[in-house]
Amino acid sequence: MMMINYTSFMILMITMLMIMISTMISKKSLIDREKSSPFECGFDPKSSMRLPFSLQFFLIAVIFLIFDVEITLLLPMIMTMKLSNLMNYSIILSFFLTILLVGLYHEWKQGALKWSY
């Protein structure tokens, strides 16, 4: 146990030393106005390039991603239907679908699915 602690401490120290050395010898300057300013065909930008992002769109996208992952969890269950007991399969599938429907109902009641302008 002592050997593992010693080895992990040495790895941590070597990593920190290498990060510090690379930071000191790098040619990057932290305040480089030319690289940090937006480039617009050689001209200075006329307006702010940062447009406001719709939080509602982001929330809908995250909900879609979550349900998309859940669908990919449902697809292998079709293949395992042949290998498992029908009673166990139906209990597990109904439990999983119940969790999905409760989550969808919760999102609906919270108003996350309402698209407001």
* Cα(54)–Cα(112) distance, integer angstroms: 13
- Whether residue 96 lies inside any domain: the answer is yes
- Given this model, what pLDDT does residue 25 score? 84
Is 117 a residue whose pLDDT tops 60? no
- Whether residue 49 lies inside any domain: the answer is no
| Average pLDDT taken over every residue of the chain | 80
Q: Provide, rounded to the nearest whole percent, the portion of the chain with pLDDT above 90.
A: 16
* Residue 26 DSSP class: -
| Number of folded domains that form the chain | 1
- Mean pLDDT value across residues 18-35: 75
- Given this model, what pLDDT does residue 88 score? 86
- Given this model, what pLDDT does residue 15 score? 95
- Given this model, what pLDDT does residue 98 score? 92
- Whether residue 66 lies inside any domain: the answer is yes
- Whether residue 15 lies inside any domain: the answer is no
Question: Which helix (H) or strand (E) element contains residue 7?
Answer: helix 2-25
The pTM is what?
Answer: 0.46
- Whether residue 63 lies inside any domain: the answer is yes
* Cα(52)–Cα(112) distance, integer angstroms: 19
- Whether residue 65 lies inside any domain: the answer is yes
Cα three-residue angle 21-26-27, rounded to 5 degrees: 160
25 CB-near residues (< 8 Å, 6+ apart):
none
- Whether residue 73 lies inside any domain: the answer is yes
* Cα(63)–Cα(101) distance, integer angstroms: 13
> Which range marks the domain in which residue 59 is found?
55-110
Terminal Cα-to-Cα distance of the chain (whole angstroms)? 59
Query: Tens digits of per-residue pLDDT, 36-75?
Result: 666 666 666 666 666 677 777 888 888 888 888 888 888 8
- Whether residue 44 lies inside any domain: the answer is no
Which pLDDT band, with edges at 50, 70 and 90, does 30 fall under? low
Asked if residue 63 lies in contact with residue 107, where contact means CB atoms within 8 angstroms, the answer is yes
